A and B are shown apart, each in its own frame.
Chain A
C-alpha cells in the first residue's frame, strides 16, 4: 500500500518519525534540511538507531549542521563519494529516501522552504511505501551503498571503494531495480496529482462561471463597446479596442464550448476518497505505461475516459470503466523483473562486452524514466503556477472571493455603461485615472 503526499509532506514524515521505535535509515541526495537533522538527533536521543548517508561535498562539509552532534550521541554517518555528473543512478535517486523500522519508506522531496538546496525542477512531494519487501529492498540499497550492510561493526565508515566504483558506473542491479520502481511510482503519483489539480480547477471553473459568468460577459461586452466607441475618435485606442473585442469573442467561444460539457460533481470527503482510490486503481490497470504494446490503443482510450470521469467526479462512470478495464483483460508489461534480471546478467558476466552494453542500456532506461517523470513534474508545476490555481488554493472561501470579484466587476460595468449611455465624446473617460 503506497500513498502520496504533495502538501505538508514534512508533517507526514515528522509524524512517521515520531511513531518509529527502533531504526531510521536516511539517504539524502544533496543536503539535509535542518528540520530533518534536528529530528534525527531527537530520534537518536530517544534511543533509536540512526543511520545517515550523505554525499561528501564541500556544501555538506561546510554546512551549518553540526554532523558531529549526531555522531557524538551514537548516530552513524556515511559520507558517500560525490556522484559524477550525469551518473544515471545517482541522478535518478529521489532527494530523500527514509526507511523507518520495518514499517515504511518515504521517498521524494520536501518543500523548497524546508530544503532549498534540492533540485528545483522536482516538485515537492513524498511517496510513502508500506510494502515490507520494498522496505527491505530500500534498506539493502542504502546499506550497500553506504557500506553498512556488509560490516555493521564498521558502520559510519566511508563507503567502500568497491561500492563507490559501482555507483560511479551506474549503480548495482538491485539499486537500479529499486530506482526504476521508485521512478515509476513517483510518475504515477504525480499523474494522479495532476488529475486532482485539474479536477479542482474544473470545479473552480464551474463555480466561478455560476457566480461571475453573466456579469463577466456583460463586462467584457461593455468594455469592448466602450473602447470601440473611443477608437472611432482616438486612433491610439484602436489596438486596445481590438484586444478587448478579441477577449470578448474568445470568452463567448470558450463559454459556448464549455456549456456543452457536463459540470463536475461536488463531493464530500468520503466520496472524494473513494473517487481517488478508484482512480488510482484504474490508472494502474489501464495507464498506457502499464500494458503490453498490443493493448496500447485501447488502454489510451480507457485512460482518456478515466481522466474525464475523474474531472467530473463521476463515480458511476468510474464503476462502468472498471468493468470495461476488466473486460479488456490487459496484459501487464511483461518486464516486471526485466531490470533486475538483466542487471543480474550484467553482474554475472561482468567482463563481457555484451554485459557492458546491457549496463549502458539500463542506464539509458533510467534516464528515460527520469525524463518522463521530469515532464510530469513540469506539467504539475505549470498548473500550480497558473493564476487560477494560485487563486483557488489561496482562497479558503470561494464564495467570499467570488462576491468580492462581483463587486469589482459591477463597479467597472457601471462605469462603462454610464459612458455608453451618454453616447458622447464629452463623457468622462472610465479608463482614465485620477
Chain B
C-alpha cells in the first residue's frame, strides 16, 4: 500500500479486469443452471419429506401473508412470533393480530421497532417484556411517550437505555433503585452517587462493574459500601495503599481471587497474614515463578496450585515438586506442557478419568493412536468420546467402535465439525452415519448443529432422525423454493395426500 503520493487528479477508472469475460460468462451460466437444478431437487426432496418441510418452513422461510393465511391452522404461532425470517411489517402484524403470541413478539429482536409500531398495538404488547427488549430504539422521547406503560422495574435494569443524569433525576419516583444500582449502563460518577446516596442499594453498587472504582471513589463512599461485595467486584484494581487504608473492611478471601489487583511479591508480603492463601493459589493473575513458589512454599494450597492455569508450568517444575502436587487436579489442568512423553512419564500419578476429559492433551494426528495404545487400559472412554481435542475423522471412529460412548459421541461437535471439513462426499458421510445407526443417540444427533446435514444425508437417515429437531438448525435449501411451490406442497400435507416415499415424523 502506498504511503506517500497524493494524486494531482482524480483516480482513473481502471479498465483492466483480473477475471476474464469467458470466466465471468461461464460462472454466471453455471450458477444459474445450478440454481434451477437445486430448486427442482429441493422440491423433489421436500415432496418426499413433507413433515420436515413444515418444520423448515416454520423455522426458516420468509413466510408472507398469503402463506400464513392459507395454512393458518398448521402454524405454531408462538414459534412464528419469535421468527427472524419473517419479513415483519405493521401490515403483517395487523393482518394476523389475533394469531400472534404477543408476549413472544414483545421479546422479538427482529421486528421493525418504532414508536409508531408500539402505538399501533398499544394494548397488545406485554410492556414488561418490551421494557427489557434491547432492540427497541430507546430514546428519551420513546420513554416519555409511553411513560405510564413501561415496567419501570425492568427499565431500571436495562443497560440499553439512553442513560443520562437527566433521565434519572427526572423520574426519581418511577425508578426501582435496587435495579438501577445493579445496572452497569448508568453514567456512574461521584455527583450522581452522592445525590441519591440514600436511595441506592449499596450492595448493588458495590458489586457493579460499571463504577469508575478508583481510590478516590472508594474513599468517598467508605461508610456506604458493602465491603464484601466491593471485594468481589471484578473491576476492583486496588493498590497497596488502598488495601492498607481499609484493611479491616475488605473481604480478603474475595480479594485473593481478583485478577485486577496490582499483584507482586511485595503486595503478597505486605498483607501476608490477611490473604486467603488457598484462593491466592488458584489465582492465575499472580506473577508466578519458582521464587514466588518457594518464598511461601508452606502457605500455598498445593491442591489449588495444581489447578492454577497460569502459563508457568514446565516439565522441570512438575519433576521438582512431584510429591507435593495434587495429581488429580493436575490431570484436568489445561495449562500443563502436555506431550506424549509427559503423559508417559507420570502414568502412575495421573487420574486417568480426569485426564481423558482434558481438552489440552496432545491428541495430534500422528501420535494419538500410539498414546491411546500405550495406556489402553487406563483411558476413560466416556471422557475421550466427548473430548473435542481428539483427531476426529471417520477412520478414528471406525477404529474403536466398541469403546466409544456413543451417547457422548453424538453430542461431540468437534467430531462432526471434522467430518464437515473432511473430503468425504455426502454419500460417504451418509454411509458412515448409517453404519452406526443403531448406536447413535438420534435425538442428540438430530439436534447436532455441527453435523453437515444435507438432503442426501437426511434421505438416508429419515427413518431415525427427528424432523423437528433437525429443522431447528438446518433449512435444506427451503428458502430457494418459490412461495407458490411451498403453498402447493403444504396443500398436499393439509390434504393428507402424502406423496410416495414421504415419512411421518
Contacts and interface: CB of A to CB of B under 8 A. Distances in A.
B456 A407 contact: yes
Contacts of A67: 164, 187
B187 A66 contact: yes
B73 interface: no
A51 B424 CA distance: 53
26 contacts: A2-B1, A62-B141, A64-B160, A67-B164, A68-B163, A72-B192, A73-B188, A184-B2, A198-B18, A202-B18, A257-B21, A290-B7, A300-B15, A306-B16, A307-B18, A335-B6, A335-B9, A365-B9, A388-B28, A388-B31, A404-B456, A405-B38, A408-B37, A412-B40, A412-B41, A433-B485
Interface string A386-405: 11100100001101100111
A198 B19 contact: yes
Given A284-B1, A387-B32, A68 B452 contact: no
Given A68-B164, A258-B23, A261-B20, A2 B5 contact: no
Contacts of B189: 72-73
Given A184-B6, A335-B8, A407-B456, 20 more contacts: A45-B235, A64-B138, A66-B162, A202-B23, A204-B27, A216-B33, A257-B21, A258-B20, A288-B12, A303-B16, A306-B16, A307-B18, A337-B6, A338-B8, A368-B11, A375-B13, A400-B426, A403-B427, A407-B427, A411-B41
A368 to B, nearest CB: 3
B343 to A, nearest CB: 31
Given A184-B6, A288-B12, A288-B14, A127 B37 contact: no
A434 interface: yes
A4 to B, nearest CB: 7
A157 interface: no
Given A202-B19, A391-B31, A64 B8 contact: no
A300 B456 CA distance: 50
Interface string A262-290: 00000000000000000010001001111
B423 A397 contact: yes
Interface string A195-225: 1001101101100110010001001100000
A339 interface: yes
B320 interface: no
Given A289-B11, A396-B420, A68 B18 contact: no
Contact of A408 (B41, B137, B488): B41
A3 interface: yes
A317 B452 CA distance: 40
A69 B163 contact: yes
A12 interface: no
B16 A307 contact: yes
A226 B188 CA distance: 74
A188 B1 contact: yes
Contacts of B499: 434
Q: List the 7 shortest-distance A-B pairs measured between CB atoms, nearest first.
A: A335-B8, A368-B10, A68-B187, A257-B22, A372-B11, A403-B425, A72-B189
A251 interface: yes
A63 interface: yes
A340 B452 CA distance: 57
A239 interface: no
A404 to B, nearest CB: 6
A321 to B, nearest CB: 13
B145 interface: no
B266 interface: no
A247 B29 contact: yes
A258 B9 CA distance: 37
A334 interface: yes
A344 interface: no
B313 to A, nearest CB: 25
A226 to B, nearest CB: 13
Nearest to A64: B138
B168 to A, nearest CB: 10
Contacts of B139: 62-64
A335 B4 CA distance: 11
B5 A255 contact: no
A69 B33 contact: no
Contacts, number: 245
A404 B45 CA distance: 13
B454 A365 contact: no
A65 interface: yes
A335 B7 contact: yes
Contact of B18 (A181, A194, A388, A407): A194
Interface in A29-68: 45, 62-68
A255 to B, nearest CB: 7
B188 A251 contact: no
B14 A255 contact: no
A134 interface: yes
A371 interface: yes
Nearest to B425: A403
Interface in B175-196: 185-189, 192
Contact of B212 (A73, A288, A335): A73
Given A66-B186, A408-B38, A280 B452 contact: no
A417 to B, nearest CB: 15
A191 B1 CA distance: 11
B441 to A, nearest CB: 25
Nearest to B48: A434
B8 A369 contact: no
A106 interface: no
B30 interface: yes
B182 to A, nearest CB: 15
B23 A185 contact: no
Contact of B425 (A71, A260, A310, A404): A404
A289 B12 contact: yes
Nearest to A130: B3
Contacts of A181: 6
Contact of A69 (B8, B31, B187, B424): B187
Given A194-B18, A300-B16, A177 B426 contact: no
Contacts of A280: 1
Contacts of A308: 18
Output the residue of B29, B30, B160, B189 with the most chain A CB within 10 A: B30
Contacts of A287: 14
A201 B23 contact: yes
Interface in A373-388: 373, 375-376, 386-388
A187 interface: yes
Nearest to B22: A257
A311 interface: yes
A189 B6 contact: no
A66 B26 contact: no
Given A250-B29, A304-B16, A387-B32, A69 B37 contact: no
A254 interface: yes
Contacts of B40: 412
A23 B209 CA distance: 22
A191 to B, nearest CB: 7
Most A C-beta atoms less than 10 A away, residue of B26, B40, B423: B26
A409 interface: yes
A74 interface: yes
B265 interface: no
Contacts of A3: 1
Contacts of B210: 69
B8 A334 contact: yes
A69 B186 contact: yes
B293 interface: no
A66 B185 contact: yes
